Amino acid sequence: MRVGQKTGKNYMLTFFYRYSSPSGKIRGKQVAKYLGAKQNPLDGYENDTCIYVKCIPPEDFPEHSFIDVVDSKRLVNWAIEHPQIGVIAISKTAKTYLMQKLKRDDIHLIPEHHCNFKHILRTRKDVTTVGYMGARTGSEFPEDIKERFAEIGLDFKYTRKYKTRGDVVAFYNSIDIQVMDKYMRHKAIVRLKNPLKLANAGSFGIPSVAYPEINFIEEFKDCFVEAETIDEILLQCEILKNNGEFYKKMSDKALSRSQEYHISKIAPLYYELGNKNKSI
């Protein structure tokens, strides 16, 4: 039973988020809709369990409030100054980092759900297209990456123009391999990241070739193909293209692990959060 539809209980869940933020759309809007929870109300939430998704709560935030840090270093600093608020981590590495940074052992881990609500599976037989979704800021992909993939018989598809979950689903439904290079950002930001892209691709049965970021290893060890350089990414993609047995093996592993990140598995964690803070 969804939290917002719970009867005979004295609490509700309320989510606050910025409409323009991808994290707000996923961790706020999508989860709130699934749970039947309130979204950005102007009043009437004072006795609720309030979740502030990658946004700073008001100074008079309700007693049972949590800040979902996501990947914001600014919010980590805010949480240090407000030790009375609950804190949510988006990944195992983020939880460890926040426990160390905030000097607290009560950080709540709630992973991010993948985009594939309807369990759509890749059905194409041929491996023809590799894809990368997201901002290229800090990317190590060279300008001629499309031409380099073409040399081994693969199309390279890149997009950062997506607004809805349907857009994300459509992108993954059009590729055969996902690729990701090293994430070139501040060390703290890397610690706060999560393996959402691996879960998104894996949920379709699409294997990923990626730089072994710390959060990838923590949660998807052996369920993606590790590659530390662009040359290694190209080589591993070529192997996946030409070796059907290896492709199926990595596809099956990615799919199995990604099932843990379906919204039906993640949403109950918010329900438990509400229960704990209302002593039900």
- Three-class DSSP category at 230: helix
Q: Which residues are registered as beta bridge partners of 130?
A: 156, 177
Q: Max alpha carbon distance in the chain (Å)?
A: 63
Q: Cα–chain-centroid distance for residue 23?
A: 9
Percentage with pLDDT > 90 across the chain: 80
pLDDT attached to residue 81: 96
For the residues 249-259, what does the mean pLDDT come to? Answer: 98
Q: Is the pLDDT of residue 218 over 50?
A: yes
pLDDT attached to residue 155: 97
Pairing of strands 49-53, 86-89: unpaired
Q: What is the pLDDT of residues 88-122, one digit of tens each?
A: 999 999 999 999 999 999 999 999 999 999 999 99
Closest CA to 176 of 132, 231, 221: 132
CB 19, CB 51: distance < 8 Å? no
All domains of the chain, ordered by start, with CATH?
A: 3-112+263-278 (3.40.50), 129-260 (3.40.50.2000)
pLDDT attached to residue 69: 97
Mean pLDDT of all residues belonging to the chain: 90
pLDDT band at 280 (very low <50, low <70, confident <90, very high): very low
Closest CA to 80 of 67, 96, 93: 67
Q: Is the pLDDT of residue 60 over 80?
A: yes
Residues 6+ apart with CB under 8 A from 274: 3, 11, 12, 13, 49, 280
Global pTM? 0.91
The token pair that represents 122 in the structure block: 């890749």
Residues 6+ apart with CB under 8 A from 1: none
Sign of the dihedral defined by the CA atoms of residues 121, 111, 33, 19, in that order? negative
pLDDT attached to residue 153: 97
pLDDT attached to residue 25: 94
Q: What is the pLDDT of residues 75-89, one digit of tens each?
A: 999 999 999 999 999
The token pair that represents 111 in the structure block: 């992973």
CA-CA distance, 91 to 70, in Å (whole number)?
9
pLDDT attached to residue 89: 98
